[in-house]
Structure formats: C-alpha cells, structure tokens
Amino acid sequence: MGETNSDAVDTIAAQWRRERPDLDLEAMAIIGRLGRLSIVAGKRIEEVFAAHGLQRGEFDVLAALRRSGEPYELNPSVLADTLMLSRAGMTGRLDRLESAGLVRRLADAGDRRAIKVGLTDRGLEVIDVVVTDHVENETRLLAVLSPQDRRDLDRLVRALLADLESAENSR
C-alpha cells in the first residue's frame, strides 16, 4: 500500500508505549487511523454537498429517493428507517427539502391517511448532479491507492464491519 509515513497516531502510540510499555497498541493505532480517516474524508465529502447547497442529511434523503427507482417516492417512515433517523429528524429534513423545491409530499394512493415523499423534477436533476460529483470526489480521495489496494481495503473493512455489525445486532 505505499510508503508508511509517521502521523499523529504514531505520536500518540509512542507516548502510550513510553507510559504503558505493557500494552499492545496495534488495535488502538488502527482504530485511531480509521477514526481520523472518517473525520478528514468526511470534511471533504461535506464540501461537495455544501457546494450544491445541501447538508449530508439532505443528500441522504434525496439519494434514498433516487435509489428507490421510479416514481422516486417513499413513505416518510420508510425513509427514516432507511436512514436510521427519528421521525422528528426526518420531518425537519423533509421540511427543508420541500421548501427548497426538491421534494414534495403527496397523498398515498393506497392509504388516504398516509403520505409519500417524492422527488420533484428539480430534485431529480439536483441529486443526479450531486451524486455524480460525490462519486468523483470519493474516487479522488482513494486515488493514492492502487486498484489492488482498494480491493484489499474493501475486503478488510467489509470483514471488520460485518463482524462488528453482527455483534451489535446480537446485543
């Protein structure tokens, strides 16, 4: 994967090694780097959304509607569950997106007491532009890695995540 450079995590690990030489710090260093990676990459990802006048959560709603396929409509509770968000949090996002003309609330043909949320034509145009920029940005963020390194990283992170999610779901 390329040359190893000293970083802030190495400094922290060296301090712990000095103070607690009895500890194996490999896991702490890896988890620390994953956390820092999430923060640094997250900022770069947020910049793309902000350039389009969106927050990450608003992007997530538009993306979920777009991924759902035509007619790009979902029940608000399904959206909230998909995005692991409270109903109140979803309402706030939908209010902002509706005010911006990106989504609309409409009666559910199958249940007149319920509503669905759908992309407007403008919302569809916006999410298609933003998701294109988002994918290009993420590709740039990983450009330092070779294709094999990216496959290896994906395999390793996938295995770790599957194990952690399995443990979380069994609680």
pLDDT computed for residue 113 by the predictor: 77
Which residue pairs, CB below 8 angstroms and at least 24 apart, start in 147-154?
149/1, 149/2, 152/1, 153/1
Q: How far apart are alpha carbons 1 and 4 in whole angstroms? A: 8
Reading the chain (171 residues) residue by residue, the pLDDT tens digits are: 445 688 999 999 999 999 999 999 999 999 999 999 999 999 999 999 999 999 999 999 999 999 999 999 999 989 999 898 888 888 999 999 999 999 999 987 777 778 899 999 999 999 999 999 999 999 999 999 999 999 999 999 999 999 999 988 888
Output helix, strand, coil percentages for the chain, rounded to the nearest 5.
Answer: 65, 10, 25
pLDDT computed for residue 3 by the predictor: 53
The answer to whether residues 98 and 131 touch, using CB atoms and an 8 Å cutoff, is: no
Q: How far apart are alpha carbons 1 and 149 in whole angstroms? A: 6
